[in-house]
Amino acid sequence: MAIAASKTLAIAEPRTRAVLFDAFAIFDPGPVSLAAKNAIGDRSEEFMRIWRTKQFEYTWLRNSGGVYKNFWDVTKDALGFAERHLGLRLQPDTRQSLLDSYFKLQPWPDVPAGIEILRSKGLKLGILSNFTDAMLDSNLANAAGLKLDVCLSTDRVRRFKPDPQAYAMGPAALNLSQDEIVYVAFAGWDAAGAAWSGYRTFWLNRLRAVEEHLDTSIAAAAAQFDDLIKFLS
């Protein structure tokens, strides 16, 4: 995935009428890591690395094999793999507390004010996520006052990103053409998938990860919500 340095804070074309976010571009996954640290202690970082990796590996494998489970069930399966891989024997209530942490996410600190600025520009705003509707509803309830026009779970089409059917939910729900929507990704692979599907894509690279080498290009990448606002100005 190529990102030219000169494009880092490029200006989006004025035809933008809506912005769709991946859930993690809105919600900080920190509570999940904290729950793991409280439950597992010194091995929590290794546990989280395996758990997260398997979460997404399982979604991609299920996309490829045509055998669907929703993201909540995939998350349970991935947790079970991580537990067995590390030889852990978690108590049922500990395991449940880890899973429940996905319902207790909070917006990144710069999100509420940033969303209001984008709304003031007349943009339609929404989430397009692999999270189930229940996961999205719970986390939006934690973010009182965060106003979005659409909240789309890929569970509705029984396909995970980066499947084109998942990304196609955005234009249909917003009643806009795809080139009128900017997609904001949290992960590099999602940025690539959205670009493949035809979105003008902004990678909100909060973790400053290395870009993927996936033979595509995205419109811009930066680490702060303010950079997204500049891009959309």
Please spell the DSSP secondary structure of 104-125, one letter per residue.
--EE-TTHHHHHHHHHHTT-EE
Q: Would you call 215 a catalytic residue per the annotation?
A: no
Give the separation between CA 20 and CA 13, rounded to whole angstroms: 16
Mean pLDDT of the region 197-206:
97
As a whole number, mean pLDDT of residues 149-166 equals 98
Distance CA 137, CA 143 (A): 10
Cβ neighbours, 10 Å, residue 159: 21
Give me 70's structure tokens.
């929703």
Rounded distance, CA 199 to CA 217, Å? Answer: 11
Q: Report which of 22, 29, 8, 229 is spatially closest to residue 119, judged by C-alpha positions.
A: 229
The amino acid at 31: P
Look at residue 6 and tell me whether its pLDDT is greater than 80. no
Domains of the chain: 5-28+106-231 (3.40.50.1000), 30-103 (1.10.150.240)
Confidence check: pLDDT of 14 > 80: no
The whole-number pLDDT of residue 1 equals 57
Residue 66 three-state SS = coil
State pTM to two decimals. Answer: 0.91
- Average confidence score pLDDT of the chain: 93
Predicted confidence band of residue 233 (pLDDT cuts 50, 70, 90): confident
Question: What gap in Å lies between CA 219 and CA 210, rounded to an integer?
Answer: 16
| Region 196-204 average pLDDT | 97
Summarize pLDDT for 17-49 with one digit per residue, the tens.
999 999 999 999 999 999 999 999 999 999 999
